[in-house]
Structure formats: C-alpha cells, structure tokens
Amino acid sequence: MEIYCTRPGCQNPVNSFPDLNESACLEEIEQRYCAACKMPLILDNRFLPQRPLSRGAFGTTFQALALRSVQHQCVVKRLQPPVHLNSSQLEGVTRAFRREAEVLDRLGDRHAQIPTLYAYCELHVTDVRQNLGSIAPEESRDVFGEGELAPQPHVQEFFYLVQEFVDGEDLRQEIMQRGKFSESEIVDVLQQILPVLQFVHDNKAIHRDIKPDNIVRDRSTGKLFLIDFGAVKHVAAGVSAQSSIVFGTHGYAPPEQVSGEPVYPSTDLYALGVTCLYLLTGKKPQELMESATRRWNWRVWAAPSDRLAAILDRMVMSAPGDRFESAAEVLAALSGEMPTGAIAPIIGGLNTQPMPNPVPTDGRTDAVDFTANLSEEMENESGFQELNIKELLRRSVIAGAANWLLAIALVSFLGTVWISTLMWVLILGGVIFSQYRPLRQKFYFFITLVITNTIIFMLFPAWSILNPFQLGIQGLVIVGLLTVLAILLSYTLMGVSRLSYRFILPFVKKLISELI
C-alpha cells in the first residue's frame, strides 16, 4: 500500500509499505513515517492520504483511505498559507479554517448534499531538517564542524480537515469536457442547489463562494454537492486578516461582497446566477459583463425560455434589493408559481420589498465568513494583480485614449489651461468614481490617467495653448500620434503598477515583517 506524505515540499512524498494491503486489518495500525522527511503519515490514527487531488492558494486536498471498522474513501484538506503572511494574517486564516470545520460539523450531517465532516486534527511535528541539534555530539561535529552551534529543534504546525469524498467532477470540469449546458440542465442545477442554499441560509450562514468549481456531481447518483465552506484563498495585502476574509471569486462575487459591505442570502443567489450564465453560455463572467456599463450582456450567447431568462436576470441584479429575497423564492419562480411578468424586479429605488437582515462579517456570529479568491483572482481578485496582457491593453486603449482626447478637447475649446484642467479632473473623477469598482482600484485608474496626461503635457507644452483642430490635417495627425503615446504610457504605468503590486510589495512587506 502507498501512503502520500502531506508535508509541503517533501522531495519524495510517495511511500510504499508492502506489509499493508487492502485486506489487512488496519484498525490498530502503527504510525508510519515518510522515508524522505520523517513526517508522520497516518492522520488522527486512521486516515491514510494516498494521492493529491488539487492545490489552491491556501491549501491542498488529498484523496485518503479512512480506516477503522469499515474502510472508505475520504478527502483530507490541509491548510497551507503562503509564507509571506504576517502573524495576524496567519491567525485569521487559521481561525477561518477551524470555523470551516465547525460549519461542516454543524451542517454536513444534516443535509445529504453537504459533505460530512469526519475529523479536524492538528499535527505538531519537529522539522527534521532543523532538528540536528538533537543528535549525538560526535555526529554533530561531523555535520557542523568543531565549534559550530547546532540549530535548535523547530516545531511545525499542520492543520487538517477530513470530510466525505464525493466521487465525481465539478461543474467547471463538466463544461470543459462536454460544452455548455442545455436549459433543462440549468434548471436541474438550480433545483438541486437552491434547496441546499435555503438550508444553509436558514442556519444563519452565507456560503460566499458559489461557483462551478464548488458544485460537484456524484458520478453514480447524479446528485450535486455544495463544497468548500472554507474558501480561505486570499488575504489582501495591507489590511487586517479579519477584514480581508470577506471575499469571493472574481466575476461571481456581487458588488456588496467585493466592496466589503454586509452580505445577504441574495449574495449567494447572485453567485449561483452567474454560475448558471457561465454554464449556459460557455463564457466566463468577465466576457458576459460589459466593462463600460457594468451590465450583463449574456443573451447574445444563449436563448433560453423567457421564464428562465427573467429568473437569471433577476438573480444577477447589482443591487441586493432587486434580486430574489431567498432561494425558496427562486424555486417558486421556477415552478411557475410566480407569473413570468412578475419576476423582473422594479429597478431604480422603487422596489418596496424590504431588505432581509444582512449577515455581519466581523466573525462574531456563526455566518460563514471565509475568504476566497477574488482567487482567479478585492484588488488582485478584480484583475489588479493578474498580468493579463490582452485585458491590460484593452483597458489602456479605452482609458488612455479617452482620457487624452477629453483633455485636448477641453483645452482646445475652452482656450484656458486652468479651467480646462479643472473641468477635466471633475469629468474624469466623475466617470471613474461612479463605476462599480473597489475604491482602491478607482484611485489607481484615476492616478494612472492623471500621470499619463501630465507626462504628455510636460513633453509637449505647446499643446496646452494650441488648438489642433485649427491646424487642419497636420493637427489631427499629431493628435492621433499623441493619443497612441497616451495609450502606451497608460499601458506601461498599469503594467509597472501591477508588477509592483504582485511581486515587489509582498517582498517589501515580508522584509519589513522579518525586520520587526
């Protein structure tokens, strides 16, 4: 039998034990150790990890064998935060991981479509790579030489959840293999997952990370399971761990979740609606939302019935009060209890439906308050850290060109630099800060565009007093060339800022934390 070592970075994690086999009595098995790193292999005296399943930003899962009276497969989830986190962030991540165990323990046994929690365990292991201080003095001299001080033992902490294994594939894997879903399949997803969400919400919890990856179909029964109630995948740099554990996944998280405001049951309904749009169209959320208007434009990719289209449109409304209030209400609309014409919300502040009580996010309630990856992917999740060259160029073309043309038009027609600059700042700020974006990203775009125009006017000061439209073709050609320059400058500034945010800032923070 093979047992897989769960220590991160183990050079040879596969360990073979010929004396163990499937037919052997394993109820009283003795602890076994990794041949490469001496890590204990059997967790909680009964769980044998056998192979890795997946790796996330904050943890790794393994398929494992559960021993005792009846052997069965299970999933071991190991917490593995990045090394650059400070002590308060690590404490917040660990607290969230323990809270996931509490939520699964509270909900898993009570609903057939939520994995059952088998165990939560912590392992304290002396790192053998730093434990040479415990060997004999003569051996120590051989290793370190005369007069050198051997390092003291270093104890590492490992945290594990063990839960029910769902033998199947998640919905993202399904759509990648066979293409987009039909309308009947979308209805089936809703009819299976909405009762699970209603159960979760009735127990005063919000999942906060509904997405195709977290809905798994059992291959033998076709039943859909809702997984990953922890979703500890990102702690934003520069903010406390507690306030940063309020995210979701980029594209699937609604505006109130992205901005760190209170969340509602309709927060999960929004994410489920976006999940259905992805499954129905085969297009990622970023491709379905118009960046300029922040409106969904998915119907060009699919043509479902009017009823299903109206239901999905209402589920993904930006304002929580415009969405369905509960999962039960969506089910009622699906079943035909609600007329199609009554499904669409009344938008623009005229909806008199009272808002449900929000779920606080301070961790002092039993709401599920875990992070996720805003992990694909706040700023990095909304595209700030991702070095997507195509998206970066698209934003640079739109923002850089529009910003420069607005500035040159105001200078040309108003004829005064100071008034034109004031008008430009007001218009630019109004356009940027009225958009649905995290506040930090708004400042990022605003400052980038201000720097872009400042550089151009410093390089070509004559254009602050000349009217290019009075220069004929030559003036228009120069305006075109300067527009290209504005795009290139915007692209460069955005690229450098993203590189700094992704690579330099974490390094500086880690260096400062080590010095402190």
CA distance 475 to 424: 21
> What gap in Å lies between CA 213 and CA 284, rounded to an integer?
13
Q: Are 49 and 67 in contact (CB under 8 A)?
A: no
d(CA 438, CA 378): 7
CA 32 to chain centre: 36
**Sheet order of strands, 155-164 included:** 47-55, 59-66, 72-79, 155-164, 117-126
Distance CA 200, CA 198 (A): 5
- H/E stretch holding 290 reads strand 289-290
Would you say the C-alpha torsion 127, 128, 132, 136 has a positive or negative sign? positive
**Maximum Cα–Cα distance for the chain, whole Å?**
92
How far apart CA 73 and CA 68 sit, in angstroms, is 12
Per-residue burial over 180-218, b if 16 or more Cβ lie within 10 Å, else e, is ebeeeebbebbebbbebbbbbbeeebbbbbbbbbbbbbe
Indicate the DSSP class of residue 29: P
For residue 442, give the amino acid letter. K
Neighbours of 444 (CB within 10 A): 20
- What is the set of active-site residues? 209
